[in-house]
Structure 1
Amino acid sequence: MEKIQNYINGDLVPPQSGNYIDNFCPATGNIYSLLPDSDGHDIDIAVKAAHNAFQFWHNTPKQERSDILMCLADEIKAHSEELIVAESRDNGKPEWLARAVDIPRASTNFKFFATAILHFDSKIHEMDGKAINYTIQQPIGVAGCISPWNLPLYLLTWKVAPALAAGNTVVAKPSELTPM
């Protein structure tokens, strides 16, 4: 049986506790994998890794971040059939729906924000000749992103892609109902 690991700092790592929980196929009720029973220790490690990565990532030029996000979009598209099967198995939706909506949209989300980051700008507004108000768009640090159970990959990419595009790093947590 497949034992899923946490993905932290580019590595697959077991939970600090060593504990796993059963993952059930909603269509059959059968256990098909084991999931890490992650706790605060795992979160601390993930946040520290994301904070360390932020020191590099937020200084990465926008064009380079855009290129990387485009590559992620291309990888989703290249592995779409595998992702369609996994999405169907994970939450019980029909493969045709994952093929028509979820997986294409996950790729499109990365493409959308990959191009949007190249067009973000700062804004300046004069206030009756007395002051100037301005907005500067800059990364803030580590973003925590939680995916819902009903559209796990699609909506996770809608959260992760803009955070990465803006120069933030991410700690993502899947729904316990659709963790794959």
Structure 2
Amino acid sequence: MEKVKLQAQYGLYINGQWRNASDGATYNAESPADGSHLAVCAQGSREDVEAASAAAWKAFKTWKKTTPAQRAALLNKIADIIDANKEHLAMVESMDNGKPIRETMNVDIPMAAEHFRYFAGCILAEEGQASVLNEQFLSIILREPIGVVGQIIPWNFPFLMAAWKLAPVLAAGDCTVLKPSKEASLSILEFARLIDGVLPAGVFNVITGAGSKTGQYMLEHKSFAM
């Protein structure tokens, strides 16, 4: 397989739009195999985390009202997009993370697609619970979305661990601000580019940058429900 063509520069994906960091800061993504330059990525600021969180909470007002069937259809559509771009995503992951292409092609990318399909099936099959306590009381359990989830992805399984975190959040009717590792951001950025327009604006936001900066801003931000 030949190297894929990457974007020269990637911005932050906030509210369904690509934008530069508020202060214009960037960092270089480099291949761990030979140190070669791959792309320029935005270094998210505290203001960018705030903007992404605000966009997610705004989107949550309507996203939480979607039905399990509607969310399952979108999860399956995302899985189809991953499968249709398996070779591309596998090579991006291999170039940026350093994994052998056989691993990304046969494990990371296809398992990510299956994870979205798994949670699509879970929410279609899920049932509530009602228990008769006595003649006067009935206990009913209803599962409801909690809001906006902040998610920080490590470098070792960038794409697959993002799927592990993202699929259940979307399935539950929650929104997210997701930060991939600075050392391996490109597969998530390409994923955001491929599914652009599939989800309502603001439901899925991607903030890139160093863990000591952007990641710390997320940890300190008080708006995340989880």
Match of 2:169 in 1: 163
CA offset digits 1:78-120 (Å, max 9, x no partner): 0111101101011000111001100001100110011111122
Deviation at residue 161 of structure 1 after TM alignment: 0.6
Q: Following the alignment from structure 1 to structure 2, what is the Cα–Cα distance between the partners of residues 105 and 45? A: 32
User: Does 1:81 find its partner at 2:87?
Assistant: yes
| Contact 1:70 1:114 survives alignment (8 Å) | yes
After the TM superposition, which residues 21-36 of structure 1 pair with which residues of structure 2 at under 5 Å, given as runs?
Answer: 21-36=27-42
Question: What is the SS of the residue equivalent to 2:124?
Answer: coil
Larger mean Cα displacement after TM superposition, 63-72 or 122-131: 122-131
Gaps of 5+ in 2: 1-6, 187-226
Deviation at residue 131 of structure 1 after TM alignment: 5.5
Amino acid at match of 1:43: V
Deviation at residue 132 of structure 1 after TM alignment: 4.8
Question: What is the SS of the residue equivalent to 1:153?
Answer: helix
User: Does 1:140 find its partner at 2:146?
Assistant: yes
Q: Report the TM-score, using the length of structure 2 for normalisation.
A: 0.75
Amino acid at match of 1:79: N
Q: Report the TM-score, using the length of structure 1 for normalisation.
A: 0.94
Higher relative contact order, chain-length normalized (CA < 8 Å, sep 6+): 2
Q: Following the alignment from structure 1 to structure 2, what is the Cα–Cα distance between the partners of residues 120 and 145? A: 24
Aligned residue pair count: 180
Amino acid at match of 2:41: L
Match of 1:121 in 2: 127
Question: What is the SS of the residue equivalent to 2:150?
Answer: strand
Match of 2:106 in 1: 100
Gaps of 5+ in 1: none
Deviation at residue 154 of structure 1 after TM alignment: 0.6
> What is the Cα-based RMSD across aligned positions, in Å?
1.6
Q: Pick closer, same or farther for the CA change 1:129–1:29 going to 2, 3 Å.
A: farther
Amino acid at match of 1:7: Y
Deviation at residue 121 of structure 1 after TM alignment: 2.3
Identity between Structure 1 and Structure 2 (%): 35
Q: Following the alignment from structure 1 to structure 2, what is the Cα–Cα distance between the partners of residues 91 and 129? A: 60
Q: Following the alignment from structure 2 to structure 1, what is the Cα–Cα distance between the partners of residues 114 and 92? A: 19
Deviation at residue 22 of structure 1 after TM alignment: 1.5
